Structure formats: structure tokens, C-alpha cells
Structure 1
Amino acid sequence: MVKPLQPERSRPLTLRRPSYSRPVHPRRHTGVRIVVAGDKGTGKSCLIRTAASNKFRNKIDSVLPPQRLPIDLFPDIVPIRIIDTSSSVEDSDKVDEELKRANVVLLTYACDRPETLQNLTTLWLPRLRRLKVNVPVILVGCKLDLRDEDQHVDLEPVMSPIMQQFHEIETYIECSASRHIQVLEVFFFAHKAALYPTMLLYDHESQTLTPRCKRALKRIFVLSDRDRDGALSDDELDDFQVKCFNVPFRRCELLGVKKVVQKNLSDGVNEKGLTLKGFLFLHTLFIEKGPIETTWAVLRKFGYNDDLKLANDPIPHLKRAHDQSVELTNEAIDFLKTIFNEFDGDHDGMLQPCELEELFSTAPESPWIENPYKDAVERNAFGGLSLDAFLSEWALMTLLNPNFSVENLIYTGYPRDPSSAIRVTRRRHVDRKKQHSERNVLQCFVFGPMQAGKSALLNSFIGRQYSEAYNPTDEDHYAVNVVDIFRENKKYLVLREISEAGVKKLLANKESLASCDAAVFVHDRSDESSWKASCELLSKIVGHGEETGFEVPCLIVAAKEDQDSFTMAIQEATVVSQDMGVEAPMPTSVKLEDFNSIFCRIVTAAEHPHLSIPETEAGKTRKQFRRLIDQSLMFVSVGLGVAMAVRFGAAKKNGAARKNVSG
């Protein structure tokens, strides 16, 4: 009547886990939340009440309050909370919320009502997928005692196609609350599935490890392979066993492990020891034949959580002001250069897609497969990255998400303290006082109306060919590259294109310009309306900076020089730049490839943040008012100083006179 969570089979090998070395499970404090759902009348509440009280009651409340099982009922000593749910349509939203909070879901059907089993596949399991409830599921047949005793039911052919269709199902079991048949077993399997879920480690359809599990185990193998010879020697295997389970291998066990691997996988063992293929094969056996806890114990010992990512933040909380940024240190950059050369197998100075995939094969996934990193640098015709493009991607990732960047450094083998990989830059208002920025990564916001040429500017920056096709930018996108000002002055410049619609959202945040080192305003010089729209954006951004105290250097770019220019727009742009105190508009043409000097000028403006700061009339008035206030305060303070001096002098004179009289 039951399919065990891990079928009992002959076990040719095991890694010893003595009871005294059982690791503390990460859910020790949070516990396991089991949500029970299913059709009305399938026995949900009776099952829960019998498990919690060890007594069967036929008449109970339609929906029970949350129940708890004894904390020491199962070996892992983890609190278990069971949530009953309603089958009424009017409670559907509440049930959905409970399902979303579950660590494991029990879906019940009545053994004497076949239609309730069918409803699991047509209603309940699709519902879980629609809600994106990505947790283990156990199918529970209740009321086993009500099934006709003369009717023999073989569950395997019934459940097998269901489990093939819905891989989230961990197992199935049938029980009887009234006769106390396999009631506690139901919750044992649920508890075990929540603590040691199979679906995260193993794909039942392909009968292979999941990609993320394989990547995590590969990293563990690499870390355990101290001499980097591609195999775990007997000593390395012994150290691995002690690290994970606090006990060394016995000689016969070690030989038995390698014998089983070699018997099933010819290249799983070589003259140096257990290969990566053999290591992965071992864990496939643990998952298929049990105990799955072995693989989970290894993963958690090496710091992985239930999502197969590093459980703890790689760096402590970074204390930084809004106008400070984060960059990689020279130590981290040197490490990245080393691994670039190491994985550049054909020594062509490029990391081809297969080489880049191998480099990130010990991370949960490649970090640059989605935006904002996917199209932020240019690749060659074969999708390869140069060293500059490779380092530029890391510079962008560190700027936008320092923790994520350091996490991926760790995945790729960064050997030093993670905190040594990054540094927090000096505050920008200090840079303005010192009239120089020491940052190696500079961020420039690119503003402009639609079809002004913003995207073309970003594409030209990373060497992407010009295209006549117009693709409107719906969300911010990035381009990053290296800019050489002088031989010893190499900077990473990040261009962030902000859509016209995105400006309103940007200005809603008081600190939105704090992360901006320079701003560029692009307009189509052949279109009067383009210039007016760009000028309005310039006024808004400058005014926002003056109000919030986050003023930034600004540059004006007159794009599409190859087209007939609108003369009035050129004159107005020149006047506006003079009035605001910024450089004259820079004419450019992507078609004519006349853009190289722009990026150098952006970097120069960002490096000297006290220059190219535009002022609005309101800003000038505000500055004059502050100056008058400061002067008034100075006069008042001088007057008070003089008055105090006079009073002090008079007091001193009177004191001397009294002294002479007394004398």
C-alpha cells in the first residue's frame, strides 16, 4: 500500500553517519510547515487530529486550528506544524496563501472515491503550479479501511504516470486514521521530504542530477581536490569524510566505495583516485537508493542552503552612504585575470561561450545570462569575451550588486577573505572638495527623448554595429567598457540608459542621482522637438540635484550630425550650455563613427566632479540667498566677538582697579 520515499534496496556502499555526528538541520529554529489540502470529505482533518493526539475522532471541526507534533517524534529534532485547509470555494484565497507558505504539501484523496484521486491531477496539482508553489508534494490516500477488501489495488501502475507528469511529487502513501494504519508514516515522509527534498537534487524524468546540484557537487569536489590533479586521493577522500561526518573511512570501506564506482563507471576511478564523474555517480546512488540525507549533509557542510546557493552572505552588511559605490580591489582583479588565462584553453585571448560556461560551472548558474548583464558588453562573432569585456562585466556586477559579485567570486574559487575582494569608494561630496575622484568604475546616466540616439550611443560604446532598426527602450539598460584616458589611467565606464518614461520614477527617489558620476543629455540635432524635450530633461535633472544636494557633472550630446541640422536648436543648445555653465554641446554621428572623444570627456568630467556642474536660475538664486545668510551670520558672529572682547577688556580693567584699591 505504500511506496517508500526512498525504496529499500541492497545498498552496496554508504558513508558512515554515526548518531552523535548528526548535523543540526537549518530548519531547527524555523521548523517544517506541512499544509494538507484536497477535496471535501477526503479525511484531511481526521488524519491531522489522529497524528497529533494519537486518537481517532469521527466528529471533529470542519477545519482544525494549526497542530504541532512532538519535536522529538522524528530523528532530526525539528518542530513540525500541520495546517488544515478548507475545501469551500469561498475560502479559496485563504487556501492559496497557506499553500504558498508551505514547506511541503500533502494532497489527500479518499481510497473509496476514485474521482478524488483524479481531481488531484486535474485540479490540485495544476493549482500548485499556477501558484508557483515549488515544494515537495506527497499524495495521501485516506480512508483505506473503507476500500472493498476484496478489491486488490496495485498503486504502482496508477501512480507512475502521475509522478512522471508531476515531478514535484516525492512519494505516495495510503493510510487509515480510524485504524491507525500508517498515519505517522505519512508525516514522517512529509518531514523527510521537507528537510531532504529530492526534486532539488534529482530529475526523475532524465534520471540524472539536476544542473544546480551537479554544479554544487562539482565545486565541493574542486575544493576537496587540494592538489588540483582532477581526482580525490585516499587521503583527500578521508579528509572529506571527516569534514562532513566527523569520522574517517575504514580501509575496507574506502576500497568498497571505489570498487562500486569502478564496476559501474570505468572512468569513475583512475590511478590518482576518485574522479569527478565518480564523485557525481556516488551521489546519484545515494539519491536513487538512499540515504538522500548523505548528499544533503555534504551540501550543507559546504555552506549550501535549500536553494543550492551559499547560505550565508559572503560579506557583512556594507555600511555606505548613497553617494558611495563599491568596486573590486586589485587582489580580486588579479584573481580574475588569472582565471581568465586559466580557462582560455586555446590561448586566443578570448573566453568562448563553452570556456565561460566551464568557468562558471561551479556556480548555481552563469550570472550573465540575463539582463542587465546579458547585453552589457560586446562579444565577438562566436560569442566570446575579451579580457576587457570580462573584467567590465565584473565591474558592472560589483557596482550593481556587490554581494552577488563576491558570491560568484567564491563560486569560481577566490582563495582569500571575501571582504578583501571589494572596497567602498570615497563619498562624492568629498571628491568635489578635493576636486578629483579616485574611482575606477564610473557610472554615467544617459538621458534623452525617444529616437534621440541614446541606444546608438551605448551600442557604439561597446563596438556594436549601427542598425537602422528602431527598438524603443522600455526599461533601463547598461553598456560597460574600458576607457583609456592616458597610458596609466584606465577606467571602467558604465553607461546607464534611462528611458523617457523612467525619468519620472527616477525623480521620485530623493537619492536617485547619488549613484551618478556624470549625466549625458542626448538630442537629435536635426529635430527641434528633440532638443526641447532634452532641454526639459536637463532642467529637471539639474533642479533635482540642486534640491537634494546630489549635483552631477552634465554634458550635452548633439547626435545625428550626419543629418541636416536644425540651426535654431544648435544656437539654443549653445546658449543653454553657456547659461548653465557647462561645456558646449558635443556633435556626434554614430554612422560616421565620430564618438570616441565623447567617452573620454565623460570620464574626465566624472573624474573632476567640481567642474561641469550646471546651475538653474532657481539654483543660482538659492546660492545667492545662502551666501547672504552666511555673510549675515559672519557679521553677527564678528559683532558678537567684538562685543565679547570689549566686555572682557572692561571686566579686566575693573578687576585691576579693585585690586589697586584693596592694595
Structure 2
Amino acid sequence: MSALMYTGQRTGVRVVVAGDRGTGKSTLIAAVATDAFDPNVPPVLPPTRLAADMFPDFVPLTIIDTSSSLENCSKRNEELKRADVVVITYACDQPMTLTRLTTYWLLELRHLEVKVPVILVGCKLDLRNPQEQMSMEQVMSPIMHQFREIQTCIECSASAPVQVPEVFYYASKAVLHPTAPLFDQETQGLQPRCIRALKRIFTLCDRDMDGALNDEELNDFQVKCFNAPLQPEEIVRVKRVVHERKPEGVNDIGLTPKGFYYLHTLFIERERIETTWSVLRKFGYDDDLKLREDILVLPSKRSPDQSMELTNEAVEHLKGIFRINDHDNDGALQPRELDNLFSTAPENPWSEAPYKDAAERTASGNLPLNAFLSEWALMTLLNPKQSLANLIYVGYNGSPASAIHVTRRRSVDRKRQKTERNVFSCFVFGPKNAGKSTLLNSFIGRPFPKSETIPTGERYAVNVVNQIGGNKTLVLREIPEDKVKTYLSDKTFLTACDVAVFVHDSSSEHSWKRSRELLVDVAKQVEQSGYGVPCLLIAAKDDLGAYPMAVRDSLVISHELGIGAPVRVSMKLSTMNDVFYKIVNAAEHPHLSIPETEAMRNRKKYLQLVNRSLMCVSDVLYQITVGAAAAVVGLAAYRVYAARRNASG
């Protein structure tokens, strides 16, 4: 048993013991709890708790005994679903119970979708017929190959006693130091995510960035992880062992990444997996080989109309990472260079929606610096915790507060008539075939498609827009027409929106009318929510010839709602009329272009009338008060005069 103490987040392990009747479940539990053999234990024991100091990980175990009878099947199944690890017993003197492992118990766990480690335990080892001795490896190897959830197979005897504590040590170890996340039994190699985590750790320890851990760096790694230095002869021995098995694992400087990975493969093969887990947990990883939640600390208290952005410090770090990975110095990352940049993260976060294809690419499919930073801005806006985690994965070692900050409330921005935000979120509304997707494509430099391909669902496009006061990042979010009603039923939906645009096909009467309906629906929601959202109309497909009534009506409704005149664009002719600049400009002036419906205008008129009435009342009261005060002063003066006259008489 290892002397390494568990350093993860678990405070206990729940072990559920199941198996055929008479296989020794209850006797096994009683034996480990009392350190004695009792042949007369009850059929089913109550929950049994083993003290934390019984095993080297210092994590207490709760052992749940179960009945194998049909009438208690439901209760047993509920316990199995709550288990952290399942122990299934068979009797060494009853071969049929061994067969039942594969014909019933393991299949039943899969049927119940119990996805936890399984320990197979042969009890009553002392009662096995000497004539039926068999190789445990030969018997269990095909079973373990078929059921990969099996972590360990062990045989024991409660009466002898033989290997009783070891059963529950292995059960605890399977939970606290799981094998599956680190090692692939099929290939007999490290899992890809484990290699990525170890690569990050290696990179952090390789302080001089020469691609190898020298003796000093190797010793510092040992002290950090295990609080004990390596003696010079131990370092020599480690490098010799690695070199004998993996020659490329050592060079003239020291231990290479391949040698570092092989060392951990060796730990796992020699059943010292807790050593590798200790290293991973020391560097902040959880059981899924992701950074622990307690490391990813972000401001918890923020209003719905606040967002999160990267700080200048984080942006400068990302620029440095970009330059390091741009090996050919062409100002853009090739797909393999981007994959290498994220090779110390669990996976490339931009390989799937909403980040995939959300930023501008070169003709050869590479990612320029502005597009790289735009992707980070998008990730920070949508999922700041994921953004922070990936910042740390790629080498950022500052505090979370120095990487991501919370923007000022939009309601405050409206009052001050300016904003300090650098990233703006724009919701793109419009009916089908209005040109929303083409607008997004144009924003990230994609040519107008020759064939009509209409993407479905929600998507994003992000890019940098050059402004006079400095570059801003604009995020366009396409809102599917069929989801607008559902989205607007959520009163907080528009709080994440800095500006809303409404696209319509300027050649289609139906498209304009539907876009107008969407604008009115959003305007009502803006009024009800109290979060002012600037709005802008976009008349797309200007090359097709405008529908006359749409031109006139759009100007009228723009005037009635108090927003700017429609921006006419043609993506096909690349006539964009500075539309993205105008979108950002609307977002930068959050007190303008907020639509007002007739109901809102009537309400304002009513409030103005009430205010005027109150002012009139105030004036009357003031005059009355002044007159009364004058009368009081006059009365007082008269009394003084009368008193003096009487005194002189």
C-alpha cells in the first residue's frame, strides 16, 4: 500500500457490496469492521463505517450490505445507483457463483446504468477444493476484457484471515485514484487527456524552456509534489531506468516529455497510480482531468446587464502565446499550430460550436491574430469560466482577477451616456431568408455563396471593428426566427444584448412585415424589462431592387420608434454601407436608438402632465406658504408695536 495521502476533493467513499446469497458478503464486511471472524452474522448488515485512518488515503468508507432476494431487488438497485464503487462477491467453493458474475451481476449493473468501478471478490478462499485450483489470471482476464468497468479481482478469506482489508483498500483506491481517466487498458498506454495534462505540468516545470527537465528542475518537481528532495543517485537511477526502456526519453540536458510520460506509465503498470494522481492533483486537476472549481474563481455577484471581458494583462499574454506558436511567423496560426497551442488543455475548445467557424480565416484556413483574440473575447463573453480555465491551460499564471474583469452595468452606461466596454454583443433578428446568415458571413470575410445554402440554428460571428476611439470587438448572434417567442418569454433574455439589429429582405413585402413584427415584439420587451437596448434596421439584398412600400414604411416606423433610418446593404455586391461600424456606434451610445412604442410615449406624456400638475400645486403651496409667513410676521410686528405704545403711555 502506498504512503501517499489522497489530496482530492472527496470526503468519503460509498461502497456497495452485492452478490449471490451465501457468497460471504455480510461476513466479509463484519470481518473488516471488527478485525475478527464471526460465523453467525445477520443476513444483511446495517451501513458500516470504516474510520478514515484505516487506509493511507485517510478517507472514511461507508459500506452498504445488500440482500440478494427478489423481494429486496428494488432497494438493492437503489443502493447500487448511489454507489461510488461496487464490490461483487462470489464464493470460491461454489463455481456457479463465479459464472453468475457474467451471466447476471455485471449485466445487471449495465442495465441499471451504474457507471462506477467494480471490484470482483472471491470469498471463502480457504474452502476451495484443492483439486480445483486454477489460475486467477486465466479465469479473470477474459472477464475483465469484456467488462472494462472491472478495476480489480481479488480472492480472500474472512476466517483464515486472508486479504480482507485489501478488498476495501482496492475499492477505495478505485474511487480515489481511478485508472480509466489515466490509462487505456486496450492500448496499454496513457489516455490522450492524461498526456495533455502531463504536458502542461512538464511545461510549467521546464522553467528555462529548453524542452527537458534538468536535475534541478526534476528535483524541484519532486519537492513540489511529494515534499521530499531527490538524492543525486536517485536522479541518476530514474534517468537510467527511463533510458533503458525509452531511449528518447532522456537527452544530454535531462528528462524529455516522452521520458516524463513513460515514467508515469511505469507508475501505473506497477500499480502505483496514486503517484501520478498526486502529481495531477498538486497541479489543480480533478478526477476528470480538468482544473478544479476552486481554482476557477470569478466574481459571483454581478447584475444581468453586466458582462465579462479579458483584461489587458490577459490579452498581452495571449499575444505572446500566439507569437510562440506561430512557428512560420506569417501572422496566422495554421490548424496544427492552433492544436499545438491547446495541446496542454483537455481539448481544443474551438473545435465545436459555438466557436468553430465563428472568426475570420485566411484563404488557406489559418487564424490571424485579430481573429484569435476575437475567439477569446467570444469565449469570455459566453463562458468566462471556460475562458479562464483555458487561459491557465495555455500558461497564464496570474490571478483570476488579473485576467477577467466585470463590465459596468448597462443601466449606468445609459445614464452617463457612454460605455467603457470593449466587447459588444449584437443580437441579429429577422425572418428566414432575410439575409442574417449572409450578414454574419460577410462580417468574418466569407464570400457571398454562389448557391443558396441556408444554415439552420443559432450561430455566432466575431471580429474586430475599427473605431475612431479604438478598436472594438463585435459579437453577432443570429437568433432563429422560430425561437424568438421562446427567448422573449424570458424577461432576462435581452440583458445580454448591447444592440439589436433587424434584418429584412428589402425586395420582399413579407420579409419586411415580419421583421417589423419582430422589432415591435422586442421593443415591447425592452419597455417591460427596463433594460434599454439600442436597435437598428438593416435592409438587406439591396441589389434585388427595393419593395417600394417597405422603403416608405421602414422610414416611418424608424421615425415613430425613435431609431435611426434603415441601413441598406448588399452582401452580394459587397456594398455594406459601414453597417458594422454603425452597429458598434449604436452600442457605444447606449442612451440612443432605444425604441419607444406608442404605449411608452403615452406613458411619458402622462408622466409629464402629472409632473406639470405637481409643479403647479407646488407653486400654489409655495405662494400660500409665503403669504402665511408674511401674515405671521406682520402680526408679530403689530404686537411689538402695541406693547411699546402701552409701555410709553
User: What is the TM-score normalised by the length of structure 2?
Assistant: 0.90
Secondary structure at 1:479 match in 2 = strand
What's 1:559 paired with?
A: 540
What's 1:334 paired with?
A: 316
1:404 deviates by: 1.5
Determine if contact 1:559/1:588 at 8 Å carries over to the other structure.
yes
Moved more, 48-57 or 456-465: 48-57
Q: Aligned partners of 1:583 and 1:246: how far apart in 2? A: 66
What amino acid does structure 2 have at the position aligned with 1:397?
A: M
Is 2:471 the counterpart of 1:462? Answer: no
Find 2:170's aligned residue among 175, 180, 189.
189
What amino acid does structure 1 have at the position aligned with 2:564?
A: E
Secondary structure at 2:466 match in 1 = strand
Q: Aligned partners of 1:251 and 1:268: how far apart in 2? A: 19
Determine if contact 2:15/2:86 at 8 Å carries over to the other structure.
yes
Is 2:398 the counterpart of 1:453? Answer: no
What's 1:219 paired with?
A: 200
Q: Structure 1 residues 275 and 458 mapped into 2: Cα distance closer, same or farther (>3 Å)?
A: same
What's 1:604 paired with?
A: 585
Q: Aligned partners of 1:110 and 1:641: how far apart in 2? A: 100
1:398 deviates by: 0.7
Q: Structure 1 residues 171 and 658 mapped into 2: Cα distance closer, same or farther (>3 Å)?
A: farther
Q: Structure 1 residues 245 and 483 mapped into 2: Cα distance closer, same or farther (>3 Å)?
A: same
What's 2:352 paired with?
A: 370
What amino acid does structure 1 have at the position aligned with 2:531?
A: F
Determine if contact 2:428/2:500 at 8 Å carries over to the other structure.
yes
Q: Structure 1 residues 612 and 288 mapped into 2: Cα distance closer, same or farther (>3 Å)?
A: same
1:641 deviates by: 5.8
Determine if contact 1:66/1:81 at 8 Å carries over to the other structure.
yes
Q: Structure 1 residues 437 and 93 mapped into 2: Cα distance closer, same or farther (>3 Å)?
A: farther
Please give the residue correspondences for 1:319-468 in structure 2 after superposition, counting only pairs within 5 Å.
319-380=301-362, 382-467=364-449, 468=451
Determine if contact 1:50/1:57 at 8 Å carries over to the other structure.
no
What amino acid does structure 2 have at the position aligned with 1:279?
A: F
Q: Percent identity?
A: 58
Unpaired runs of 5+ residues, structure 1, are 1-5, 7-16
Determine if contact 1:379/1:385 at 8 Å carries over to the other structure.
yes
Q: Structure 1 residues 329 and 94 mapped into 2: Cα distance closer, same or farther (>3 Å)?
A: farther
Unpaired runs of 5+ residues, structure 2, are none
Q: Aligned partners of 1:636 and 1:313: how far apart in 2? A: 61
Secondary structure at 1:624 match in 2 = helix
Q: Aligned partners of 1:113 and 1:455: how far apart in 2? A: 68
Moved more, 48-57 or 379-388: 48-57
What amino acid does structure 1 have at the position aligned with 2:356?
A: K
1:553 deviates by: 0.9
Q: Aligned partners of 1:659 and 1:120: how far apart in 2? A: 114
Please give the residue correspondences for 1:497-646 in structure 2 after superposition, counting only pairs within 5 Å.
497-563=478-544, 565-595=546-576, 597-635=578-616
Q: Aligned partners of 2:410 and 2:627: how far apart in 1? A: 44
Secondary structure at 1:557 match in 2 = strand
Q: Aligned partners of 2:443 and 2:345: how far apart in 1? A: 30
1:410 deviates by: 1.2
Q: How many aligned positions are there?
A: 641
Moved more, 187-196 or 588-597: 588-597
Q: Structure 1 residues 316 and 598 mapped into 2: Cα distance closer, same or farther (>3 Å)?
A: closer
Q: Aligned partners of 1:657 and 1:51: how far apart in 2? A: 107
Q: Which has the larger radius of gyration?
A: 2
Determine if contact 2:463/2:475 at 8 Å carries over to the other structure.
yes
What's 2:278 paired with?
A: 297
What amino acid does structure 1 have at the position aligned with 2:258?
A: K
Q: Structure 1 residues 561 and 171 mapped into 2: Cα distance closer, same or farther (>3 Å)?
A: same
Per-residue CA deviation, residues 3-44 of structure 1 (Å, 9 max, x unaligned), is: xxx9xxxxxxxxxx9x6xx5463346x211223345666554
Q: Aligned partners of 1:95 and 1:594: how far apart in 2? A: 69
1:391 deviates by: 0.5
Determine if contact 1:111/1:147 at 8 Å carries over to the other structure.
yes
Q: Structure 1 residues 616 and 184 mapped into 2: Cα distance closer, same or farther (>3 Å)?
A: same
Q: Aligned partners of 1:645 and 1:110: how far apart in 2? A: 105
Q: Aligned partners of 2:569 and 2:199: how far apart in 1? A: 50
Is 2:243 the counterpart of 1:282? Answer: no
What amino acid does structure 1 have at the position aligned with 2:374?
A: S
Moved more, 343-352 or 306-315: 306-315
1:90 deviates by: 8.1
What amino acid does structure 1 have at the position aligned with 2:403?
A: A
What amino acid does structure 2 have at the position aligned with 1:523?
A: H
Per-residue CA deviation, residues 487-519 of structure 1 (Å, 9 max, x unaligned), is: x52111101111123223322222211110100
What amino acid does structure 2 have at the position aligned with 1:342?
A: I
1:145 deviates by: 5.6
Q: Aligned partners of 2:73 and 2:486: how far apart in 1? A: 36
Q: Structure 1 residues 394 and 139 mapped into 2: Cα distance closer, same or farther (>3 Å)?
A: same
Determine if contact 1:410/1:418 at 8 Å carries over to the other structure.
no
Secondary structure at 2:425 match in 1 = strand
Q: Aligned partners of 1:558 and 1:93: how far apart in 2? A: 63
Per-residue CA deviation, residues 303-322 of structure 1 (Å, 9 max, x unaligned), is: 22222222223334343211
Is 2:466 the counterpart of 1:473? Answer: no
Find 1:250's aligned residue among 231, 236, 239.
231
What amino acid does structure 2 have at the position aligned with 1:341?
A: R
Q: Aligned partners of 1:40 and 1:638: how far apart in 2? A: 94
Q: Structure 1 residues 524 and 279 mapped into 2: Cα distance closer, same or farther (>3 Å)?
A: same
Is 2:296 the counterpart of 1:314? Answer: yes
Secondary structure at 1:107 match in 2 = strand
Moved more, 274-283 or 594-603: 594-603
Determine if contact 1:450/1:472 at 8 Å carries over to the other structure.
no
Q: Aligned partners of 1:648 and 1:398: how far apart in 2? A: 64
1:390 deviates by: 0.6
Per-residue CA deviation, residues 534-562 of structure 1 (Å, 9 max, x unaligned), is: 22221111101101101211112222333
What amino acid does structure 2 have at the position aligned with 1:375?
A: D
What's 1:161 paired with?
A: 142
Secondary structure at 2:492 match in 1 = coil
Please give the residue correspondences for 1:222-237 in structure 2 after superposition, counting only pairs within 5 Å.
222-237=203-218
Q: Structure 1 residues 25 and 443 mapped into 2: Cα distance closer, same or farther (>3 Å)?
A: same
What amino acid does structure 2 have at the position aligned with 1:428?
A: R
1:606 deviates by: 0.8
Q: Aligned partners of 1:225 and 1:655: how far apart in 2? A: 93
Per-residue CA deviation, residues 73-110 of structure 1 (Å, 9 max, x unaligned), is: 21222111123456577877765654454322223445
Q: Aligned partners of 1:410 and 1:547: how far apart in 2? A: 41
Q: Aligned partners of 2:437 and 2:67: how far apart in 1? A: 53
Q: Aligned partners of 1:238 and 1:621: how far apart in 2? A: 76
Secondary structure at 2:255 match in 1 = strand
CA RMSD in angstroms comes to 3.0
Determine if contact 1:34/1:83 at 8 Å carries over to the other structure.
yes
Per-residue CA deviation, residues 587-628 of structure 1 (Å, 9 max, x unaligned), is: 333322333622111111111112211111122122223333
Determine if contact 1:523/1:534 at 8 Å carries over to the other structure.
yes
Moved more, 199-208 or 180-189: 180-189
Q: Aligned partners of 2:125 and 2:505: how far apart in 1? A: 76
Secondary structure at 1:270 match in 2 = coil
Please give the residue correspondences for 1:30-109 in structure 2 after superposition, counting only pairs within 5 Å.
30-38=11-19, 43-53=24-34, 54-56=36-38, 60-61=42-43, 64-85=45-66, 98-109=79-90
What amino acid does structure 1 have at the position aligned with 2:559?
A: Q
User: What is the TM-score normalised by the length of structure 1?
Assistant: 0.88
Is 2:102 the counterpart of 1:136? Answer: no
Q: Aligned partners of 1:539 and 1:390: how far apart in 2? A: 36
Q: Aligned partners of 1:471 and 1:122: how far apart in 2? A: 52
Secondary structure at 1:485 match in 2 = coil
Determine if contact 2:117/2:174 at 8 Å carries over to the other structure.
yes
Q: Structure 1 residues 146 and 458 mapped into 2: Cα distance closer, same or farther (>3 Å)?
A: farther
